[in-house]
Amino acid sequence: MRPITYVRATDTATAVTAVSSDPTSDFLAGGTTEVDLLRQNVMNPRRLVDINDLPLTGIVGTPEGGVRIGALARMSDVAAAPVVRERFPLIAQALELGASPQLRNMASMGGNLLQRVRCSYFRDAESPCNKREPGTGCSAVEGFSRGHAVLGTSEHCIATHPSDVAVALVALDARVHTLGPKGERSYAIDDFFLLPGDAPHREHPMEHGELITEIEVPATPIARHSLYLKVRDRASYEFALVSVAAALSVMDGVIADVRMALGGVATKPWRARRAEDFLIGAATQRNDFAMAARVEMADARPTAMNAFKVELAQRAVVRALDMLCDGNETGAAPGSGSGSPT
């Protein structure tokens, strides 16, 4: 048995000092990732610094039309917040389609961004895994890889980023604010998630002891017309095989603006910039949607087991855009975002 010390931080500066001064310590928020991995011997902190008393739970609309979300706001509270539902339906839907009600009541937004991959080799604490133990190899490349990534992979890691809400936040150009031993920092969310490259154990640019304090979503008027479509093996309590966060504005039958990001297919929440570029100025036609999806997936590098994701992602993109054009963005509401895109 490994002894673990537990302390409860009462202010942010103390929490940062406590973790940054001790390489064997971790923050503890809702514990839904941290405690699982601790029990499985995947993470081995000797000290847990509980941050649940810190005043980081706010969900506040900005006068400009954005929202500032405290790192300790619970997934369920963020999904239920009127300002989020009204201004950013894709965020509310992404949260409600994740995990289970019990987990959403515990899980924090900061912890959600930092949750670890669901690759079974990472989680069994025994198999070679470059993410868990750098330099040992990647068991998934030649192993079981049905749920793994087809975009942003490297020979060293092909694990999919598991967060749903991160996909919506990437589509919206959110910013992640932190407090670390060197002071406050702010990251564009697309830079916050790192590709595995040859260092898959580095998943974000923060240093040890840096605390996420807030997620800032800028005003994005087209997000009022948005959705999160999640395709998964069963209708609830399951991670995405493919997901699409999308927002659209149409003028005179032509796409004036679009935001899109993909989940379940890449090693980080994947901003679909190629598809966006293709769609701006295009007609709202299925053929154009399908071409945009094809362009986005052109660099996919699937394994034999997950090649189906390339086609599935393209169909999901088309379906998401169809739903937005039909004014059917509530179609991705809880429980209905599953099933096979046609």
Ligand X SMILES: Cc1cc2nc3c(=O)[nH]c(=O)nc-3n(C[C@H](O)[C@H](O)[C@H](O)COP(=O)(O)OP(=O)(O)OC[C@H]3O[C@@H](n4cnc5c(N)ncnc54)[C@H](O)[C@@H]3O)c2cc1C
The DSSP code sequence of 283-314 is BS-HHHHHHHHHHHTTT----TTTTHHHHHHH
Nearer to ligand X by C-beta: 179 or 279?
179
Q: How far is the CB of 305 from ligand X (least distance, A)?
A: 21
Q: Which of residues 248-287 bind ligand SF4 (CB under 6 A)?
A: none
> What are residue 61's phi and psi, to 5 degrees?
-70, 140
Q: How far is the CB of 302 from ligand SF4 (least distance, A)?
A: 14
Nearer to ligand SF4 by C-beta: 129 or 321?
129
By a kind-dependent CB cut-off of 5 to 8 A, residue 157 interacts, out of ligand SF4, ligand X, none, with ligand SF4
Q: Sign of the C-alpha dihedral, residues 337, 89, 291, 301?
A: negative
Nearer to ligand X by C-beta: 20 or 62?
20
Cβ atoms of 89 and 223 within 8 Å: the answer is: yes
Q: By CB neighbour count within 10 A (0-12 exposed, 13-18 middle, 19+ buried), where does 3 fall?
A: exposed
How many residues at the interface with ligand SF4, by CB under 6 A?
Answer: 14
Nearer to ligand X by C-beta: 96 or 276?
96
Cα within 13 Å of Cα(227), Cβ side? 24
Contact with ligand X (CB under 6 A): which of 76, 139, 163, 338? 163
Joined together, the tokens standing for residue 307 give 């090649």
Nearer to ligand X by C-beta: 97 or 310?
97
By a kind-dependent CB cut-off of 5 to 8 A, residue 334 interacts, out of ligand X, ligand SF4, none, with none
Contact call for residue 31 and ligand X (CB under 6 A): yes
Cβ atoms of 340 and 241 within 8 Å: the answer is: no
- 164 vs 245: CA distance, rounded Å: 9
Q: Which of residues 222-241 bind ligand X (CB under 6 A)?
A: 239
Nearer to ligand X by C-beta: 78 or 292?
78
Please report, in angstroms and rounded to a whole number, the separation of the first and last CA atoms in the chain.
51
Contact call for residue 17 and ligand X (CB under 6 A): no
Q: How far is the CB of 65 from ligand SF4 (least distance, A)?
A: 38
Contact call for residue 112 and ligand X (CB under 6 A): yes
Contact call for residue 103 and ligand X (CB under 6 A): yes
Residue with tokens 């750098």: 134
Q: How far is the CB of 139 from ligand SF4 (least distance, A)?
A: 4
Q: For residue 223, what are the contacts with CB-CB under 8 A and spacing of at least 6?
A: 87, 88, 89, 90, 172, 247, 259
Contact with ligand X (CB under 6 A): which of 9, 29, 67, 84? 29
Q: Residue 259: helix, strand or coil by DSSP?
A: strand
Task: Residue 321: count other Cβ atoms within 10 Å of its Cβ.
Answer: 28
13: DSSP letter: H
Contact call for residue 278 and ligand X (CB under 6 A): no
Q: How far is the CB of 22 from ligand X (least distance, A)?
A: 13
Q: Which residues form the interface with ligand SF4 (CB under 6 A)?
A: 117, 119, 121-122, 129-131, 138-140, 157-159, 200
Q: Which residues form the interface with ligand X (CB under 6 A)?
A: 26-34, 36, 71, 98-99, 103, 106-108, 110-112, 114-115, 162-165, 211-212, 239
